[in-house]
Chains A and B, each alone.
Chain A
Amino acid sequence: MAKLERPVDLDLNKVYRNRVSRLGIELEGGWRQLPPNTRLHRDGSVNVDDPAPLAIGELPSPHLLPSDMPAWMRKYYPHVVNHTCGMHVHMAFGTALMYQRLMDPRFPATVIFYMARWAAEQDLPEDHPIWPRLRGDNIYCKHQFFADAQARMQDKDFNQTRDGNRYTFINYCFSRYGTAECRGLPMMNTVDQAISAIQQLLTITNAFLVATRKREEKFSAQIMAPDDTLIEEHIIRL
Chain B
Amino acid sequence: MMTTTQVLGLTGCALAVVVFRKECHKLDATLVKSGETRININISRSHLGLTLTVSAVPFIEEMIRGMGNGEILPVKGAGRHWVPLEPKELLYYQLAGPLGPVRGDPGYFRLDRVGMPLIEPHPDRPSDVLNMSMLRLVGIGEGPGVRFGVRGVYTLEGCRNIATSLQQAIREFYVAYLKPVNISVIVTTQEFTP
Binds A, one of B38-46, B72-80, B104-112, B139-147: B38-46
Q: Is the CB of A152 within 8 A of B119?
A: yes
Query: Which residues of the partner chain B approach A147 to less than 8 Å between Cβ atoms?
Result: 155, 158
The chain A residues found within 8 Å of chain B, CB to CB, are 2, 95-97, 99-100, 103-104, 147-148, 151-152, 172, 174, 216-238
Q: Is the CB of B154 within 8 A of A148?
A: yes
CB distance from A110 to the nearest CB of B (A): 15
Q: Is the CB of B37 within 8 A of A222?
A: yes
In this complex, how many residues of chain B approach chain A with their Cβ under 8 Å: the count is 66
CA of A99 to CA of B22, assembled, Å: 64
B186's partner among A96, A230, A235 (CB-CB below 8 A) is A235
Query: Which residues of the partner chain A approach B32 to less than 8 Å between Cβ atoms?
Result: 228-229, 231
Query: Which residues of the partner chain B approach A95 to less than 8 Å between Cβ atoms?
Result: 47-48
Give the nearest-CB partner of A94 in chain B: B47
Give the nearest-CB partner of B173 in chain A: A223
Give the nearest-CB partner of B179 in chain A: A226
Is B99 engaged at the interface, CB distance under 8 Å to the other chain? no
16 A-B contact pairs sorted by A residue (CB < 8 Å): A2-B157, A95-B47, A104-B156, A223-B37, A223-B170, A224-B36, A225-B34, A226-B179, A229-B181, A231-B184, A232-B184, A234-B186, A235-B25, A235-B186, A236-B23, A238-B188
Q: Is the CB of A234 within 8 A of B26?
A: yes
Given A96-B47, A216-B46, A230-B181, CB of A222 within 8 Å of CB of B167 = yes
Minimum-distance CB pairs A-B, first 9: A219-B163, A221-B166, A221-B167, A95-B47, A225-B34, A223-B39, A148-B158, A228-B31, A221-B41
Question: How many cross-chain pairs have Cβ atoms below 8 Å apart between A and B?
Answer: 172
Q: Is the CB of B29 within 8 A of A223?
A: no
The chain B residues found within 8 Å of chain A, CB to CB, are 18, 20-49, 117, 119, 151-160, 162-164, 166-167, 170-171, 174-175, 179-192
Query: Which residues of the partner chain B approach A96 to less than 8 Å between Cβ atoms?
Result: 45-49, 151-153
Q: Is the CB of B21 within 8 A of A236?
A: yes
CB distance from B178 to the nearest CB of A (A): 9
CA of A220 to CA of B191, assembled, Å: 52
Query: Which residues of the partner chain A approach B163 to less than 8 Å between Cβ atoms?
Result: 219-221
Q: Is the CB of B27 within 8 A of A230?
A: no
Query: Which residues of the partner chain A approach B29 to less than 8 Å between Cβ atoms?
Result: 230-233
Give the nearest-CB partner of A99 in chain B: B153
Q: Is the CB of A104 within 8 A of B30?
A: no
